[in-house]
Structure 1
């Protein structure tokens, strides 16, 4: 998998999907971008993987908020760098 990072054969597809995400967002934005119901949002940005039960609740909450046309973005202060350890290790 790490070899893909240096493989330029993926560059056109990455550029195409990045452009599509920016178009869905409606302007320039960072990463990640999620599209729900054709509306783009920056995020969600997680600092660690959620527990399985929290992951489902998070997805449902995102879908619910995305259906409100006036919803733009929730934000909170930076929580530190991501941790990729499993929830059992934390």
Structure 2
């Protein structure tokens, strides 16, 4: 399932969706890209409910959503924080010496 929303996100009233959007916005403004976000069970349920509500007929077979190029997934049941994120690896800088 892919959701594409470019630009600044507007608050939705759903704390899980707003947390994900705030995380993506924060790192985008710094010139970095978030690759992966894991939500705890409660926030994943809220996020999944919002996606299913706003996108009728969609299915989430393996509990993952591709949101603006970022994979959002359900985290472990032992996860303490509501949201964990991983930044995309940057390509190594190559310096040519003449």
Normalised by the length of structure 2, the TM-score is 0.26
The structure with the largest helix share of the pair is 1
The structure with the largest strand share of the pair is 2
Comparing both chains, which one has the higher relative contact order based on Cα–Cα distances under 8 Å and sequence gaps of 6 or more? 2
